[in-house]
Structure 1
Amino acid sequence: MADKINVIPYQRVYSGQAHTYMGERKKTGIFHLSKNMFMLVLVGFLLGRANILDGLAPFGIAFYISLLTKDKKYSYIGLFVLLGMFTTHINTAKYIIALALSFIVFLVIRDKVRAKTFMTAIAASFVMFLAGLIYMLATEIYIYDLVMEGFESVVVFVFVYILSYAVPIIIQRRNRKVLSNEELICIAILSAVVVSGLANIVIGNFRIKNIFGILLTLIFAYNGGASIGASVGITIGIITSMSSIETPMVISIYGFSGLLAGIFKDLGKKGSAIGIILGNAILTFYINGSTEVLIQFEEIIASCMLFIIMPRAMMQYMEKFANANNYKIDKTRSERIKEMIYLRLKEYSNAFSELATTYGNIAEKEKLIDQNDMANMVDEVAEKICKHCGMCRSCWHNNFYSTYNDIVNVISYLESYGKIKSEKIPQVLKKRCIKLDSLIDAIMGRFEVHKVHYEWQRRLFESRQLVAEQFEGVAHIIDDLSKEINMKIDFRTEVEDALYVAFDKEGIPIDKITVLEKEDEKFEIAIEKRACFDRKQCDERIAPIVSKVIGRDVVRKPKLCKADAKTGNCSFTLTEAEKYRIATGVARVSKDDICGDSYSFIDLPDGKYMMALSDGMGSGERAAKESQASISVLEQLMEAGFEKDVAIKTINSILVLKSSEETFSTMDLSMVDLYTGKVEFVKIGAASSFIKRANGDVEVIRSTSLPIGILNNVDIESFGQRLNNGDFVVMMSDGVLDADSDVDEKEQWIISALKKIKSKNPQRIADDLLDMAIKKYGNKIKDDMTVMISKVWEVR
């Protein structure tokens, strides 16, 4: 063996400027001013300026604490908050104490309260009140000041809650595309408070606070519509009124103007601007009864001009945050389309039902030879043998009834016994007929021809019956599909919006989400996204997020994703996880080289799990073909949505028509509803099945029906049971059940064996049970033997 050689890949060595640049970048540290950092500095400065009741400035303190709980690197933002306070007439001594206490307290408890907004808000409120109390102890204490400190602490508590939604939007590195309603409102409130920090800044006759307040209302109204515009307008009006001595009438002006701006958004930017102007004019005239305005017309015009010239890219960016109508559907159209599809499928179902009835009404010939056949056979024999016989006149003219009845008796005897004995030929016919041997040969020949013809007629009838059953099965499937389409289905758009927000927070790009809630209150979530190239994102990342949002466990179905080669997207569906899980173990041994038993265990639609076992007649290749055909057809029909009765009747018809020889096989079918734990046993000539309960008790499921493929009409026996956590379903072929010949009841040794086996592993139980059966046979394989064990457990 050659020695292993380690190959070191080529690496370019950089020096000089590159090395110096990296060193300089490391030295800059937190002073590297990114877009997010600039935004934090600006917001901190303006929040420091923002105040209410002409002297209280709790917003900057709450903002600083919210940042400290995220990362201690934001501690320097407190300097800009303090700088903003210095530019106003606020008494900064108390807030310097508050900033210092915040830095000390939250540096210690940051890790404990980081993920707990309520605890953070309580701690922030306590710090604010303690800072005010320390300041009053150093100066003077009045009851009024204590009440105001309590009020200020409450404001800090509330604002920390608001910032818990708004701050992550600012500090996240990736751009968010969709906001929840809570985040949208909190961003609007934060923006309003920031705008209030522009109070007392006047350029000429323009008050900057009013200009940006109107501009903010315009942006949200244009992108979000009337409801968002009115909400943001009222918020800005409330904050503006609290931060100055202006009249509270400003609240109604902002709110009404935002409402009209949203209503006129269909006319474009100019329409929203006209809505703002009209709202201000109407309410000003209504409140004052004159032309004296509360917000200067020049300020409104300036805001409208800034809004109109705002770049399209910025407007599109804001639209992603404010537009709440991106994912709505036209329910009227969808209901109409659903009704059209339902009616058309109903027509198809009725058509197939009529075809099934037509084919099914064809009567089956009950007897091998009926009265007409008998008359025809007698006529043909007489025409062939007796017409040119010299005794024809004596036999058929003089003794017609006697001759006719004698030949009928011969044919009847031939029908009953298959051959004619000499002593059974009527004596009168023997004495009268001079061509007796030729007559008997003609009768036997005509009978053989008629028997072949009858057999083909029977086969043709069975084929028609099979077609009728298939038509009926197709009619049932189409009818079920029409009912499923017409069932009450709610498109849960609010859940869709919540999922868009949740995925956006995690940085997972999603193209389309559709959430359905059916009549049984089960969710079905269809998701389309960029393909992950089999990295299992749908199971490992997406499913947990969906489960967290809807509050229910979900699983992906089908197990394989569907990728679109043209778009590069994959689509899959998440459904509510079943309450129960099943694991199946199988053990089998064959008498010959090929085992005549076949089995299957598969997941079916609608949360069903099927276990099937078929034992072909005899053993070897022929038995294997029969059982494999039964299992294969059963799988295909059940997965296609056929009812189990229709599927079994179809298999029976196929086996009956498949060959002129006797071919049959047993069918042992168990179907478990994974949502309810109910199991249904369907047995056709199959060996007994068993249920081993978690407490050790064993129940027997017996059958007395014939195998499929023997009779045209199969006798289906069905048994229902309820499974609990830890129960086992035990299915086996008759080779295992018949292993103990010393007991009268074959099931007794299986019951004793299952009680002795203590293992909880279904594969181990199947192996042990098969080993016991082989020992019962004296360590000889006298028949094909198969054991299938399925364990059911409840998902916690």
Structure 2
Amino acid sequence: MQKTERNYSQPVGEVVFNRSRLEFSRFFGRVSLKIERLMFQHGLLLLMVGFLLGRALILMKIMPFALPFFASVYVIKRDKLGIATISVLAGAFSLSIQNGGMVFLSIFAFLLFNRLSGFFSVEPLRKLPFLVFATMLITKVGVFYVIDRDLTFYDFTFAAVEAGLSFILTMIFLQSIPLLSSKSRRQSLKVEEVICLIILLATVMTGTSGWSVYGLSVEHILSRYLVVVFAFVAGSTTGATVGVVCGLVLSLANVSSLYEMSLLAFAGLLGGLLKDGKRVGAALGLIVGSLLIGLYAQADQPVMTNLYESLVAVGLFFLTPLIILKNIGKIIPGTTENLNDQQQYLRKIRDVTAHRVQQFSTVFNALSNSFSQNGFYDEGNDENKEVDYFLSNVTERTCQLCFKKEQCWGAQFDKTYEYMTQIMEEVDNGTLHQNTRISREMDKHCIKAKKVIDIIDQELTYFKANQKINKQIQDSRKIVAEQLMGVSQVMENFANEIKRERENWYMQEEQIQAAIRDFGIEINQIEIYNLEAGNVDIEMWTPYCHDRGESEKLIAPMLSDILGETIMVKHEECAAYPQELCHVSFGSAKAFVVETGVAHAAKGGGFVSGDSYSMIELGAGKYALAISDGMGNGERAHYESNETLQLLKKILQTGIEEKIAIKAVNSILALRTSDEIFATLDLAMIDLQDAHSKFLKIGSTPSFVKRGDKIIKIQASNLPMGIIEDFEVDVVSEQLKAGDLLIMMSDGVFEGPKHVENYEMWMKRKVAELQTSDPQEIADLIMEEVIRTRSGMIDDDMTVMVAQIKHNTPKWSTIPVYSYGKQAQ
């Protein structure tokens, strides 16, 4: 039995009110569900629409609506054909027997011609308008001939006009009938579909022509209600469009209603402009429009009658539930409800995508844990187990059939086990013949000592081979586990980025746009994606600037003052013509910048060097400098070193950690070929926010940092890449400062000086003697000094890369914006 708790701090009246409101909402939901089922599933909506279209006339004679409606239902909703037929015939016979007979004859002719058209392999939706046109034309001409027995040019013209209208209405009904026959429709309509729906609703209203309640025209009330609803939901543009369409259709049905077009169009325009005043504003627009246009109405249309019709339409508008108005707004493109609905749909897609990416991340994480499960075992226990398996194989071949087996392995187990393990170690080290003590003791203990030693020697070869294989398998599993873990982390970060919803910065956008406009700079559009300190992301569209650099010289300094940090132009696309717009991206400036210089030369002065270098600017505010030296010289060495850097660049740009990226590159180089090919790698990762640097050296020469008169050597001991599949990457961290010079070089430069015993001391002395701080000049001077020691000869590929760390000083000073007041922060 479930126990319920009551909050006694909440008033009893409020509890009762909330409960009543909940019960009412549930009741309203059930009623709405039953009404929707009755309207759509049982076809009541089609029944009403068909009845009114069967009554609809143009100029009191032309009936172009009934057959297109029937034909559209016949093709789209065949299961509702009976309802459509009954409703259209009922509406036509409610006018007169002649109209009903004409509609019945046209339906019968359509079914006959449709059966005959089955001989042509044409898609039904494409041939339907032409089939309706031919049916209306032949039927109308046939009726005129039967009645008058003499066809005139007027009869042919009348029949052609009615058939042409039926042709157009068929295409319109094909677009709009699905909206009335099914509840499960698209969340957003095209503009053409909205217009077709409005035309359908306007033609349905013409079926109420002649209906009046207390002297008030029903068609006028419904048309004004339709206009005020669309003006309130979609704004002035759609409201005016609905007014024009409704007024045009009503005036075609009755020429005396021609003034309704101007009234409805003006009322829709005013209602849309006043929609910010909620329902009262839209209703006021309709009433004001009715009063102004009513003054110019015909004499038989009193102003008060016109006003009363508008007031009844306003009353119906106020009685319409808000949820219905919101649902109408969702299907009209450009409305706030439609945009919110689209954003909600995109949010669902984003959440589903993020969830799938997280699932993949979990899978890769589980695979990584599965491959690395050996790492959780105690290596000492694993080694003891391997020794036990080895001794079991030896005893199986020696002690299994010995009569002293029970004595040796039962009563003296520990002593036997100790002798055999000692002999195994001595044989493995190759010192058994020197250790006569263990041999004598083994002879006393075992009657088959010599045979045991021989079997241990034989089995030890297989034991070492198995150990090597197991070690390789474990190393491979470890490499795969680390790489899978790196992929899992990247996918997890990607999922988090997807989940990070773009915040609404509408107020900040308006404030920044107003502040810049007050300064005298025109901005067409501004989009703010992030205002986080150090990670600002803003895009702007500005008029043609004649290449004067307004974005860098004026807008960026103003944004720097507004946001309280240095803002710079990340990317700019200037307009090609004065009528176009310039697109500019602004972002946070990094605290440090890196200026580089490179000097390189191939062996013997050739064109192809085995050294490769790269400067990689990563998206996470990091800057990478890398030098790779392939084995040997020439094209093959150049290919290996260049391939190493390209692989490293692509992996680093995905966001994988540096150590895992280097191990992944090493695995690829080690496994893709059986040749003895390897490459060195000298990598420096510099964080541009705090200048903290990481150095990863794989078989490379030392690097040097020049800080004033002080020379700092950076060195690590790692084998070149591609030699072994598994190796530990030593990472050397160093905090760089503004003004530091980082000098990286290949072995051709470091070991290049001739007649030098201590290369390190020589290089430090040359770096300390430098009188310039320009990176390119330093690279050229070091290269020249090394070549001079060789009398101008280049005996190896040589590359030297120099980077200088500097504070990021903006080119333009901050421009204060006093009218802004720093509200965006």
TM-score bracket for the superposition, by shorter chain length: 0.3 to 0.5
Give TM-score, length-normalised by structure 1. 0.47
Give TM-score, length-normalised by structure 2. 0.46
